[in-house]
Structure 1
Amino acid sequence: MTQSEFDLVRKLAFDEAGIVLEHDKQYLVESRLQSLAKQTSHESPSSLIGQIARDIRLKQKVVEAMTTNETTFFRDHEPFEMLKNEILPALIQARQETRQLRFWYAACSTGQEPYSMLMLLAEHFPQLASWNVTHLATDISKDVIAKAKEGEYSQFEVNRGLPAVYLTKYFQKKGLHWKVSDALREQLRFQELNLNRTWVGIPKADIVFLRNVMIYFDLDAKRRIFQQLERTLEPDGYLFLGTAETTLNVTASFQRVAFGRTACYRPAAA
C-alpha cells in the first residue's frame, strides 16, 4: 500500500464515519484491506482501493473494515452488576406507572452486548415480561448486524464471558456453533446507523450503551454525538461508556455517577 492510498483510506474513514486513523496505523489498514480484498476477489488492497470511487457498496465495505468489532459477552462484568443491583431496580421503581423501558445499544457489533442484557433481564427481572420493554441495536456495519441478528457464535466466542449456565439455558447447539434462543432474538430490533451522521429513527431511551466506540472519534465528532445523545437519553436515564472513555473535556451535559469500582453517566440536570 502506497502512502497516497493510505491517505485516501484515512480520509474516507474520517469523512464517512468520523474514524480517526493515526499515521502509525498503516500496517493495520493494510492488513484489514488485504482480508477484504480476498473476500471481494480483488488481487490486492491497491486493486480494491482503485475501485472504490466507482462502487458505493465497496466504499462502504472499506469503511466498515476500519471499524473494530472486538466484543464479548458481559464485557467488563462490573457494569452489568451495577445494572442488576442498582440501576434497574431504581428505574423499574420509577417506571411503575408507564411500565415501559427502552434500551439502545448504539454500537452493538456482533450482538454479545445486547444478548447479555437480555439474559440478565430474563434471569433477574422476570416481572418485566409483562412490561413494554424495547431493545434497539445499531451499528454502522451491515455485516456485523447480520451476524448479530443471526445470533450464532463459535465455541471460542461463547467461552469469552458467558456463564456456562446461561449457555445451556439460552442457546441451542448447532453443529460446531451455538445459537441464541428465538425467545431472546425476537426481542431485538436492528438498524444500520452511522453515529457520525444525523440520527434518524432513534427513539428516546432509558439506558444507552455506547461502549468502546468513542475512542475512535476526534473531539468534534464526540461533541456532535453527545449533543444528539442529550436529545435521546431520558432526563433520568443512564449512559454507559467504555472503561477508557469519558465526557471530561468533551461535554458538560453529562455527569459521572460512581457505583463501587465502576461508573456510568447521567444527564447533568438529573
Structure 2
Amino acid sequence: MTPADYEFLRKLLKERSGLDLSADKQYLVESRLIPLARRAGLSDIPDLVVKMRGGAEALIVNVVEAMTTNETFFFRDRIPFDHLRDTIVPALLQSRAARKSIRIWSAACSTGQEPYSIAMCLKEMAHLLSNWRIEIVATDLSQEVLEKARSGIYSQFEVQRGLPIQLLVKYFTQMGEMWQVNPDIRAMVQHRQLNLLQDFSHLGKFDAIFCRNVLIYFDQETKASIFERLLKVIEPDGMLMLGAAESVVGITDAFRPYPDRRGLYQPNPLRGVPPAFGAMPQVMKLAAAR
C-alpha cells in the first residue's frame, strides 16, 4: 500500500465513520482490508483503492464496516451494568414513577451483546418494573453486525465471554453448537442502523444512554460534536454511560461526572453559568462601600 493509498483511506474513514487513524496504523488497515480485497476478486489494497476512487459505493461501505467493527462481549467491564442496577434504575423508579416508562439507547452496539446485557439486567429487576414500559434502542453503523444482533444467535465462545452461566440457562436456548437469545429478551430491543456522525434527533429522548468504547476512535472535535448532540436527546436528569477509557474532561462541559460512579455522567445544569454567578464583583463591592 502506497502512502497516497493510505491517506485516501484515512480521509475516507474519517469522513464516513469518524474513525481517526494515526499515521502508524497502516498494519491495521492491511490486516482488515487485504482479506476483503481478495473476497472482492482484487489482488491487493491498491486495486481496492482504485475501485473505491471510481465510486464503487458497495465496496466503500464494506471497507468502512471492516474497519469499524469492534470487539464486544456480554456484560463487558461489568461496572456499567452494576451502575444500571444500583444507580440508574433506582433513580428512574422514583423520577419516572408517574409515567412508568424507561428508554435506553445502546449506541455502537456492534453484534448486540451490550443491549441484550441491558435487557437481561432489567429482566432480573422485573419485580420492580412490573407494568413498566421498557424500550431499548440499539444502533450501529454496520448493517452486517446489526443482522447478527437481531438474530440473537451466538457461538459457545461468545456466550462464555462475560455471561454468567445462570443467565445463559435462563435467557438462551441452545441450537446445536449455537445459542439464541430467548424471544422475550429479543423483543425488548429495537435495532436500527445509525452513523453517530449524522443527526440522531429522530431517535427521540432517552433516560439513559450507553455510548461506550466508540468515542476513543474519534478526534477531539468529533467527540465534542457528539456530546453536544447526545445532550439534545437525553433527559435533563438522564444518565450517560461512557467506556472505561473515555471521559468528558477537557472535551465538553455538556455533562458532568455522577458522584462516586466511574464512567457515569449527567447533563450539566450549570452549563454556561459563570463560576461567580450571583456574587458582586470586587470592583462593584468597593464602589458600593464608598
The normalised TM-score by structure 2 is: 0.89
- Matches of 1:204 and 1:113, distance apart in 2: 20
1:10 aligned residue? 10
- Aligned pair count reads 269
Deviation at 1:132, TM superposition (A): 1.7
Deviation at 1:144, TM superposition (A): 0.9
Q: What secondary structure does 2:202 align onto?
A: coil
Runs of 5+ unmatched residues, structure 2: 271-290
Asked if residue 149 in structure 1 is aligned to residue 150 in structure 2, the reply is yes
Q: CA contact under 8 A between 2:101 and 2:132: conserved in structure 1? A: yes
Q: CA contact under 8 A between 2:247 and 2:263: conserved in structure 1? A: no
1:65 aligned residue? 66
- Matches of 1:257 and 1:263, distance apart in 2: 8
Deviation at 1:188, TM superposition (A): 1.2
Q: CA contact under 8 A between 1:20 and 1:217: conserved in structure 2? A: yes
1:101 aligned residue? 102
Larger Rg computed on CA atoms:
2
Asked if residue 133 in structure 1 is aligned to residue 146 in structure 2, the reply is no
Asked if residue 24 in structure 1 is aligned to residue 41 in structure 2, the reply is no
- Structure 1 segment 105-124 matched on structure 2, within 5 A: 105-124=106-125
- Matches of 1:164 and 1:8, distance apart in 2: 46
1:186 aligned residue? 187
- Matches of 1:258 and 1:200, distance apart in 2: 28
RMSD of equivalent CA atoms: 1.5
2:285 aligned residue? none
Deviation at 1:49, TM superposition (A): 2.0
Counterpart of 1:198, as a letter, is: D
- Matches of 1:36 and 1:259, distance apart in 2: 45
State the Cα deviation string for residues 167-201 of structure 1 (Å, max 9, x = none).
11111111211111111112211111111122252
Q: What secondary structure does 1:24 align onto?
A: coil
Runs of 5+ unmatched residues, structure 1: none
Identical columns (%): 44
User: Please, which moves more after superposition, 107-116 or 59-68?
Assistant: 59-68
Q: CA contact under 8 A between 2:111 and 2:145: conserved in structure 1? A: yes
2:208 aligned residue? 207
- Matches of 1:41 and 1:148, distance apart in 2: 28
Deviation at 1:68, TM superposition (A): 4.1
User: Please, which moves more after superposition, 34-43 or 180-189?
Assistant: 34-43
The normalised TM-score by structure 1 is: 0.95
Counterpart of 2:103, as a letter, is: R
